[in-house]
Structure 1
Amino acid sequence: MMRSLYSGVSGLKNHQVRMDVIGHNVSNVNTHGYKAERVNFMDLISQEIAGASEPKENIGGINSQQVGLGALIASIDKIMTQGSLQTTGKNTDVAVSGEGFFVIRDGNKQFYTRAGFFNIDRDGYYVHPGTGLRVQGWNSRTDDKGNSYINSSATVEDIRIPLYQKKPAKATTEVVYESNLNQAVEIVPADATAEQIRDFIEGPADKRRGHATTINVYDPEGNKRELRLEFWKTGENRWTGRVNMENATQVSVNVTGPGNVDTAVPGNDRFELGFSSDGRLVSVSDGSDTLNDGKLQLQLSYRIPGNPEPQTINLNMGESGEVKGITQYASSFTTRAKEQDGFPMGYLEAFSIDNTGTIVGTYSNGVKEPLARIALATFTNPAGLTKEGETKFAYSMNSGDPNIGEAGIAGRGKINAGLLEMSNVDLSDQFTDMIVTQRGFQANSRTITTTDQMIQEVLGLKR
């Protein structure tokens, strides 16, 4: 039987497979995260009719004579190029810009996908909606000071976004002060009465020799209380301060710092600030102890009704010799409380996702804190992953082990929220390949029919 008959058959089979792959690509042209495939052919083993001979002294060499036996499928490659990003506006949708796959898990089975059309289920888990598989990453933890943090070096886990969960109140532990006390004002007499000091602070601007600043702080129950600090000039480069806490008792301040012993008198509500000749804060004192190095802070102590435990707040005035915190220059009073770290109880109302994959929650009390971080996995040979359907990939022996970590680190791409990655199928390429495949199939069928006609001629020789 003629070899060309079998060569034509192999060509038909191979072009059928190529058409199958093209059809699959076209059918997934609008599948998010889909990666196109292509078919590569290679020739089948050739039968040697005559071997090659080497050149001799009086005659040249002769090449071998071989007849090919058709074609084989060399590979079906996955084209892992980046697909275009489509805006959706949905905050749970995410897309990878660059290398990497989202990690999703079904029990002990771990899969990988580029399709980030995720949702939140009834229990608050971040899931792949087509399969219910849970997205992997790292949930936030709380340290001993009540601050949230994410340990992305730990083992990945199911991401959970607890919408409408309560955030307990946090008592204020630190207040940071900044800006300036006017060096040009007159000194307040040492024998000034409380009423005179109040007039110096709150009176007309041309008579003002002091300044007051207030900020709302929170107790352990989340109650808002006004903290007021008053400052007045009592000497060259020296100011006296007084602290007052709304609806609190036993209010007192004392110096805290390395090497200082708490010898402050209970109920002492006054302190002193010392400045250098160039306006920099250099010391704080409570009348018994003085701190003149490093962070210059006072500890405010107070009690609230119904709670026998004393509450404390660190009043951060700045750092010794630095131009931050409180300064003393011949400029307008601008001293203010910059920030405090307490808040009342709140509910998780919304969240957003940044480029690192960090999910940041927004609470009804105005607090924003990290809730979780989405993990990405990269592979040495991503084209070696096994397709599992439902836009999922699985590890194979030739993909390499998954390298799981944060987005934007170690070659991993960035995560974009409110976007989805479209299929990377190019229809113009697919239609062109479709035409070439059709012609290839037709040509191979002609090989078969022509060979059949030749065989028919041989059979007719006997007539």
Structure 2
Amino acid sequence: MGFQQGLSGLNVSSKNLDVIGNNVANAQTVGFKGSRGEFADIYAATFGTAANVAGIGAKVTNIAQQFAQGNLTTTNNPLDIAISGNGFFRMQDTTGSISYTRNGQFQLNKDGYIVNNGQYLTGWPVDQSSGLVLAGSNPLPIQLQFSNIGAQETGGSGVSGAGLDLGVNLNAQDKVINDVSNANPGPAFSYTDPTTYNYSTSATVYDSLGVAHTQTMYFRKQDPGATVPGPGAVNTWDVYYSVDGKPVNLDGTLADPTGVPPVPLNALVGTLSFDGNGRYVDYTSNIAAAPVAPELPISANAGDDWLYVQTGALNNGSNGLSFQLYFDKSTQFGSPYNVNSLAQDGYTDGILTGISVSKEGVVQGRYSNGETRDVAQVVLSTFTNPQGLQPVGDNRWVESYSSGQPLVNAPGTGSTGLLQSATLEDANVDLTSELVNLITAQRNYQANAQTIKAQDTIMQTLINIR
């Protein structure tokens, strides 16, 4: 027995107490991962056999981090985000340095960035023109726009199907009002007389300034025996239009709805046709092919399915209205009239009012105009050996040679877990186990101190021999 063994035992016991104490101190730290001390014995270099070689103590070989999942606790903050499964949030500081964390206590700073302890959360940006996530690109700090997002006129999104899309069922059993096949064509259509049309429905559309306008469509059934456009079409309906209560003319002007006659001779009139099975066949109108808004030019062939209001006709300084109409979801069955779908792509100006994060990491802003906009997708990083990550404090780690290079994926892909918004991951420290370990480590320290005391007694005996 020597002082060397007892001293080394005190050192490793002290280090073990440090590790346990650090675990206990961080039991309430969000995203904290506990550690354990790992130790090994020490033997002096010798050619002796194992039977007659005594060890010279113990040493610390590693402080191993334990990356087991912590419990999840719900909160009321949508920017509290927990990872359920593997992976780390990828963080970036103002210098571009990258670190990783499991602490999901995020906030928005004054510039709209999602941050944690001064570090920026990174993700793949969203292309605002197409709305697609630029997956695989270089992750960038995620920023939301606090300022006004601006208005978009109906038909101005530039994507396929932009404009007004209306799906209605027009009752096939309704009476014919426009009987064009005989000498009694029926009452003249009037915007102000509901007896001159079968149905009407309205939609909100937006001009280039984001000003809302009420567009009303009036459906008037024609004689089924009339000659109608479109192959296979046997049933047709006239469609008249008004904007803010004023009839729309085919040249894009607006008329007085109370004028005489009630319907101007150049009123915009469309023809909606269906086949014998009640399915949509075609829509055409008498709209003038020109002029149109410069930003949305239409040709003579494509012009008959547009609604156009001239610049200045709305008298508000906007570019008027110019967008395509879609009726392909409409039907004519023998069931009551109803509106099945109504969609348009315009909106007024708005500011950010809320934020949400999906389980796949898509960050979405909600705006005061009712619009939602995907901003970015949070990325998660995984490592071949996460225990090789180098802790740097503030619940963060950095890449090291032992950890290997990070693998960056979207949540739920590869080996990464999913995200849970309004949730935090607790420390994975089991206080009961740690307190038991603390008692054991304390006894080990006392035992090693006892070996030094015993060696001191033996040395004292030897010194006192005469």
Asked if these proteins are the same fold (TM beyond 0.5), I'd say yes
Aligned equivalents of 1:336, 1:41: Cα separation in 2: 71
1:21-170 mapped onto 2 (5 Å cutoff): 21-45=19-43, 50-51=48-49, 64-106=51-93, 107-128=95-116, 130=117, 132-143=118-129, 148-163=131-146, 165-170=147-152
Aligned equivalents of 2:62, 2:127: Cα separation in 1: 47
| Structure 2 residue matching 1:455: 3-state secondary structure | helix
The amino acid that maps onto 2:173 is: A
> 1:251, 1:303 within 8 Å by CA — same for their partners in 2?
no
Q: 2:308 — aligned with what?
A: 301
The amino acid that maps onto 1:388 is: V
> 1:93, 1:117 within 8 Å by CA — same for their partners in 2?
yes
Aligned equivalents of 2:415, 2:463: Cα separation in 1: 67
**Structure 1 residues 447 and 221: CA distance shift in structure 2, 3 A:** same
**Structure 1 residues 7 and 201: CA distance shift in structure 2, 3 A:** farther
> 1:47, 1:68 within 8 Å by CA — same for their partners in 2?
no
Q: 1:189 — aligned with what?
A: 179
1:437 aligns to 2:441 (yes or no): yes
Aligned equivalents of 1:192, 1:33: Cα separation in 2: 80
How far residue 86 of structure 1 moved from its aligned partner, in angstroms, is 2.2
| Structure 2 residue matching 1:415: 3-state secondary structure | strand
Aligned equivalents of 2:137, 2:456: Cα separation in 1: 68
Q: 1:246 — aligned with what?
A: 243
Aligned equivalents of 1:34, 1:308: Cα separation in 2: 56
> 1:213, 1:336 within 8 Å by CA — same for their partners in 2?
no
1:224 aligns to 2:212 (yes or no): yes
1:345-364 mapped onto 2 (5 Å cutoff): 345-364=349-368
The amino acid that maps onto 1:299 is: W
| Structure 2 residue matching 1:39: 3-state secondary structure | strand
> 1:215, 1:337 within 8 Å by CA — same for their partners in 2?
no
1:285 aligns to 2:276 (yes or no): no
How far residue 270 of structure 1 moved from its aligned partner, in angstroms, is 2.3
Aligned equivalents of 1:110, 1:152: Cα separation in 2: 19
The superposition leaves residues 202-245 of structure 1 with CA deviations (integer Å, 9 ceiling, x where unpaired) of: 33xxxx97322211111111122222222233243321332313
1:269-348 mapped onto 2 (5 Å cutoff): 269-286=268-285, 298-305=305-312, 311-318=321-328, 325-335=329-339, 338-348=342-352
Aligned equivalents of 2:38, 2:251: Cα separation in 1: 80
| Structure 1 residue matching 2:387: 3-state secondary structure | helix
> 2:89, 2:102 within 8 Å by CA — same for their partners in 1?
yes
Aligned equivalents of 2:242, 2:136: Cα separation in 1: 43
The amino acid that maps onto 2:74 is: T
**Structure 1 residues 79 and 138: CA distance shift in structure 2, 3 A:** same
Gaps of 5+ in 1: 52-62, 255-265, 289-296, 319-324
Aligned equivalents of 1:196, 1:226: Cα separation in 2: 24
Aligned equivalents of 2:454, 2:47: Cα separation in 1: 23
| Structure 1 residue matching 2:239: 3-state secondary structure | strand
> 2:268, 2:286 within 8 Å by CA — same for their partners in 1?
no
Q: 1:18 — aligned with what?
A: 16
The amino acid that maps onto 1:351 is: I
Aligned equivalents of 2:339, 2:34: Cα separation in 1: 63
Q: Tell me how large the CA RMSD over aligned residues is.
A: 3.1
| Structure 2 residue matching 1:112: 3-state secondary structure | strand
User: After alignment, is 365-374 or 383-392 more displaced?
Assistant: 365-374
> 1:217, 1:224 within 8 Å by CA — same for their partners in 2?
yes
**Structure 1 residues 199 and 398: CA distance shift in structure 2, 3 A:** closer
Aligned equivalents of 1:209, 1:252: Cα separation in 2: 19
What TM-score, normalized to structure 2?
A: 0.81
How far residue 360 of structure 1 moved from its aligned partner, in angstroms, is 1.6
> 2:240, 2:269 within 8 Å by CA — same for their partners in 1?
yes
Q: 2:388 — aligned with what?
A: 384
Q: 1:365 — aligned with what?
A: 369
> 1:49, 1:67 within 8 Å by CA — same for their partners in 2?
no
**Structure 1 residues 397 and 308: CA distance shift in structure 2, 3 A:** closer
Q: Which has the higher strand share?
A: 1
**Structure 1 residues 170 and 287: CA distance shift in structure 2, 3 A:** closer
The superposition leaves residues 45-85 of structure 1 with CA deviations (integer Å, 9 ceiling, x where unpaired) of: 2665754xxxxxxxxxxx85432222121211001111112
Aligned equivalents of 1:446, 1:335: Cα separation in 2: 88
How far residue 110 of structure 1 moved from its aligned partner, in angstroms, is 0.9
Aligned length: 416
Identity %: 28
| Structure 2 residue matching 1:221: 3-state secondary structure | coil
Gaps of 5+ in 2: 156-162, 225-233, 253-264, 288-303
Aligned equivalents of 2:445, 2:405: Cα separation in 1: 39
How far residue 337 of structure 1 moved from its aligned partner, in angstroms, is 5.4
Aligned equivalents of 1:210, 1:179: Cα separation in 2: 13
How far residue 178 of structure 1 moved from its aligned partner, in angstroms, is 1.6
